[in-house]
């Protein structure tokens, strides 16, 4: 397993809505993440900066790129991105602007 961390930005005043949407995350998104090898996924919020910090464990062979191979998978993820776009900073395709972070230390 490999650990991956990244940060994203939440729009001001959207913390409760973000939390609500993830509390009611779509089952198809959960299935897609698990199919991609994602496990132990957490997202934290720095309320001072509206920065979301995400960390997840992924299967080593799937860790370098999370690609969505089927048309159905792409439709699901694009629909989720569109659903979240009004409360997050996004790219033109509605994907969240994500900045991957280098692991500097880990203690088991």
Q: Are 7 and 46 in contact (CB under 8 A)?
A: no
pLDDT band at 60 (very low <50, low <70, confident <90, very high): confident
As a whole number, the mean pLDDT across the chain is 92
Q: In CATH, what class is 2-101?
A: alpha beta
List the one residue out of 80, 103, 105, 75 whose CA is nearest residue 90: 80
Supply the residues annotated as catalytic. 22
pTM beyond cutoff 0.85: yes
Question: Distance between CA 7 and CA 78 in Å, rounded?
Answer: 19
* Helix/strand/coil percentages in the chain, nearest 5: 30, 30, 40
**pLDDT band of 64, cuts 50, 70, 90:** very low
Per-residue confidence (pLDDT) for residue 62, from 0 to 100: 47
Q: What residues have CB less than 8 Å from 6, skipping those under 6 apart? A: 53, 54, 98, 99, 100, 101
């Amino acid at each position: 397993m490999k650990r991956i961390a990244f940060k994203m930005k939440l729009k001001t005043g959207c913390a409760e809505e973000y939390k609500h949407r993830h509390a009611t995350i779509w089952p198809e998104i959960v299935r897609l993440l698990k199919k991609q090898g994602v496990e132990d996924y957490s997202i934290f919020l720095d309320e001072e900066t509206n920065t979301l910090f995400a960390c997840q464990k992924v299967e080593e062979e799937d860790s370098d790129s999370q690609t969505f191979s089927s048309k159905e998978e792409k439709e699901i993820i694009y629909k989720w991105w569109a659903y979240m776009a009004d409360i997050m900073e996004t790219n033109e395709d509605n994907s969240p602007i994500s900045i991957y972070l280098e692991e500097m230390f880990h203690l088991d």
